[in-house]
Amino acid sequence: MVFKKIARAVAPDSWVTLIDELYVGLSNLTLRDNFSCSRKADVALAAGAEVAIEHGLRTLPEGYLITKQTGNATIIAGDTAWDSVSIYLKNPSANDAVITVYILR
């Protein structure tokens, strides 16, 4: 609906300029621009440990996305139920890990 209104308002010879400007703008969007989320960097997970990570979303998160990890470990959702304050991630591996994680609303 909104697109049709824009299409009618833009002259046909301006379409190329509009598409170029949209491409530049959309190409510069970050993960945080696209999702309601909280980014937590340098979260340490010791081998065999579960860690609470406060997210500040004030609602129960939908999931998480690990974007950076050091250490040879598998990180999974913890056994503790998530809530509107924290999520819980677990490292059942034999090695420690440090992650950057986006918690998705």
Which range marks the domain in which residue 20 is found? 2-104
What global pTM score does this model have? 0.73
- What is the DSSP secondary-structure string of 4-43? HHHHHHS-GGGHHHHHHHHHHHHHT--HHHHS-EEEEEEE
Read off the tokens for 55. 């997210």
User: Considering its fold, how many domains does the chain have in total?
Assistant: 1
Q: How confident is the model at residue 15, as a pLDDT? A: 77
Q: Give the tens place of pLDDT for each residue, 28-87.
A: 777 777 778 999 999 999 999 999 999 999 999 999 999 999 999 999 999 999 999 999
Task: Provide the CA 90 distance to its chain's centre, in angstroms.
Answer: 18
Indicate which CATH number applies to the domain containing 23. Answer: 2.60.40
At residue 104, does pLDDT exceed 80? yes
Instruction: Give the confidence band of 3 by pLDDT, cuts at 50, 70, 90.
Output: low
| Dist. CA 63–CA 30, nearest whole Å | 18
| Dist. CA 53–CA 89, nearest whole Å | 8
